[in-house]
Structure 1
Amino acid sequence: MSMLRCIGYNIGSYFYNSVSSKRLIKLQPFTQKNVVHILGNCYYPETNENLNHLTFNDANIKIHDLIVATYRQKYSYLGNTYLSSDAGWGCAIRATQMMIVNALVIFKDQMQQIVDYNSFEHQQNKSQAKELIYDRISSLLSIHNIYIQQVIKTHNPKGTNFLPPSVCCIAISSLLQEWDKKPFNCITCLNHIPSCSCPTLYLIPRIITFTEHQLILDSLALSQSRGFVGGIGESAIFVFGCQGTTLFFLDPHYVQNAGDFGYFNPPTYQIDISLISSSVVFAFMCYEENECEELRTIFGMGKVPIVAREFTSTKEIDGVEVLDF
């Protein structure tokens, strides 16, 4: 990628926030008709008779505790380029980072039985998760390390191509899986869902047709759900929950300096499921085999890889070619 092209992107990032024309709907107060699903938990109206349920107030606290990753600028150059900003093209990487680090915080909190988001232990878990995606080569899941993965380079010949969510998930799951300190396995499932012998985060790319929108809602209602990376047109977002057919999401399309990580109160938006793009990548945290089997049933996938069968010509009988597998 030429130096002038890189410089153009870097300069453009300074004006991105002022010229962005997106008109997103901010998250509205929950209705009292339906329960709310957020990252594996179910939340009920405060008027619900069962006081043991998580409430809408708990849901709002959870939403404001989420880690946000956005476009960045003023970081060290990416790979063998002069790019110091991902504004305008890196949204799928940022949305994937959000999905992974929020899943990581939930996992650590559950292992430590943390329920207080103000506790030192929870804040420490968040801080450690954020460190994984800081914009520097020393951070495992940084854009610097994702950018140089072979699967990214293959789909990014110009250096600033729009990257499909599935490609970003393959790159980031590979990095996480190779980490010697990984707290769980992370596997991208293209045609099967392997058995679960230890805690595993399964990333499942899927093309969703209009008639399959119920699959999205069913997936978000599962206790294994850790949201999904989807899109509005070609703008990638991180969807973390829903109420009825309304999806809740975090949007990475805002430029911040590399040193300023996240918002005090993350901007949260909503969108009707009918407006979501067809290409999504679901995330599910499974601890036991029966949870994997539930996913296989929902997604119509098996436990072992599907191997394409190859036709080979072995002989002729009465002038007719006989094919074996």
Structure 2
Amino acid sequence: MDMMLEAYLSHEGVIEPDDIPQTKETIWILGKAYLAPHSVEIIRRDIRSKLWFTYRKNFVQIGDTGLTTDKGWGCMLRCGQMVLAQALIMLHLGREWIWTPDTKNKIYLQILHMFEDRRTAPYSIHQIALMGASEGKDVGQWFGPNTVAQVLRKLAVYDEWSDLVVHVALDNTVVINDIRRLCHAKTPAEESSSTESRGDTNSTPNEWKPLVLVVPLRLGLNEINPVYVKGLKTCFSFKQSLGVIGGKPNHALYFIGIVGDEVIYLDPHTTQPAGLVEDKQHEHEKTVDESYHCEFASRSHILHMDPSVAACFLCRNEDDFDLLCQQIQESLIEQEKQPLFEICYERPHHWSPSEDSVEEIQGATACLALEDIDRQFDDSDEDFELLG
């Protein structure tokens, strides 16, 4: 059903949203702790500041597919967009940044433009859907958490502004030195530029590139095994948390917080007209911007989640990464009989070579049909029309 899953309680004739429970338990929203009775409006303001991507209709068609809406198939793609958008906001504006309807912050608008429903936007539904072909997914086919993470990993290579490394951990294992090498590696363009400026071929370590770490997990067969619940809850308390993508079969959700045994999430299953914010100088652009922010989040019992999820984290610098590794070791491994995932310094010998290098990722995109690559980076939105 095309609606937001919102519940309301009535008390003495006054209807209040039931998004934030009246509880003395700590509420965690992406690594930040709140006490609800005294912080409900502050929590809502924090949640409203997250970019909320939903189904859209009447955008310029994706490639030559004729598809002008992602209703019914794009929910996991939208959840992937929400994770990455939150990473960019934390990276460029900080975790404490707050959105308001009057916000015209240029950096915020630049981030939003990267996800709008147009061909030129680097993380648009168009780019994600077309890049999905390199993961064996046709445009219009539903993605799982791992697939959308792999696609974002490839698209991030072209984002020179943020210079992100998106790493997708394999086999529930975070390999520390693989990640260090990736985050210190130079791109071919950087290597060429530094070599020309020095006039030699000696390579020096690069500064740390911000890391988006995605850990795909299978936490049970048909439902989450309760043994993993504590570890999953703990992930939301890490300051590096970007939340969890998952949901139910063919019904993706973006989980941003936890309170007691309930997860707090943003739901992409609302269909809105496509539109552009531009510089937010006109009233209709302000209205479009407001459509990217959810007034009230939803809640569900953690055991109602599908067992196929992906935990996501942002490490802006190497200290963030070192702290995350320490937290994983102390809180997710040493404290648990059945760890949520593992961590090691070097990759197991039986694993295949890493495919995370820039050259490997760029090579992987070559499997897309040439006409799709041309279309993927087409700088024209010819015939773009909003039909209401």
TM-score bin, normalised by smaller chain: 0.7 to 0.9
The secondary structure found in structure 1 opposite 2:245 is: strand
The one-letter amino acid of 1:306's match is: P
Gaps in structure 2 of 5+ consecutive residues: 9-17, 184-207, 276-287, 333-340, 353-388
Is residue 2:129 matched to residue 1:147?
yes
Task: Note if contact 1:204-1:283 (Cα within 8 Å) is conserved in structure 2.
Answer: yes
Q: Please give the residue correspondences for 1:274-313 in structure 2 after superposition, counting only pairs within 5 Å.
A: 274-286=303-315, 287=317, 288=319, 289-294=321-326, 297=329, 298=332, 299-308=341-350
Q: Distance in 1 between matches of 2:299 and 2:7?
A: 6
Is residue 2:153 matched to residue 1:173?
yes
Q: 2:213 aligns with which of 184, 187, 202?
A: 202
Q: Distance in 2 between matches of 1:217 and 1:117?
A: 26
Q: Offset at 1:137?
A: 1.2
Q: Offset at 1:23?
A: 5.4
Deviations 1:90-143 (A, max 9, x none): 100001101110221122222xx9655459888433322211111111100001
Q: Distance in 2 between matches of 1:22 and 1:121?
A: 25
Task: Note if contact 1:173-1:188 (Cα within 8 Å) is conserved in structure 2.
Answer: yes
Is residue 2:264 matched to residue 1:222?
no
Using the aligned pairs only, state the percent identity: 20
Deviations 1:30-89 (A, max 9, x none): 333211111121112466xxxxxxx44322210122211111111122123111111101
Gaps in structure 1 of 5+ consecutive residues: 1-18, 48-54, 311-325
Q: CA RMSD in A?
A: 2.7
Q: 1:128 aligns with which of 85, 88, 110?
A: 110
Higher share of residues assigned strand:
1
Q: Distance in 2 between matches of 1:122 and 1:104?
A: 17
Q: Distance in 2 between matches of 1:96 and 1:22?
A: 19
The secondary structure found in structure 2 opposite 1:31 is: coil
Q: 1:40 aligns with which of 25, 31, 37?
A: 31
Q: Please give the residue correspondences for 1:182-193 in structure 2 after superposition, counting only pairs within 5 Å.
A: 182-190=162-170, 191-193=173-175
Q: Distance in 2 between matches of 1:228 and 1:253?
A: 17
The secondary structure found in structure 1 opposite 2:93 is: helix
TM-score, normalised via structure 2 length: 0.65
Change (3 A) 1:126 1:309: closer
Deviations 1:139-198 (A, max 9, x none): 00001111111x4454424x4222112101110122113322125332222243423634
Task: Note if contact 1:116-1:122 (Cα within 8 Å) is conserved in structure 2.
Answer: no
Q: Distance in 2 between matches of 1:238 and 1:265?
A: 12
Q: 1:89 aligns with which of 58, 70, 73?
A: 73
TM-score, normalised via structure 1 length: 0.77
Indicate the structure whose relative CO is greater, using CA pairs within 8 Å and at least 6 residues apart: 2
Change (3 A) 1:116 1:93: closer
Q: Distance in 2 between matches of 1:215 and 1:200?
A: 22
Deviations 1:214-273 (A, max 9, x none): 221010111111111111232001111111111111111111111145256434211110
Is residue 2:302 matched to residue 1:270?
no
Change (3 A) 1:272 1:79: same
Q: 1:212 aligns with which of 221, 228, 242?
A: 228
The one-letter amino acid of 2:235's match is: S
Q: Please give the residue correspondences for 1:50-69 in structure 2 after superposition, counting only pairs within 5 Å.
A: 55-69=39-53
Q: Distance in 1 between matches of 2:102 and 2:349?
A: 49
Q: How many residues align?
A: 281
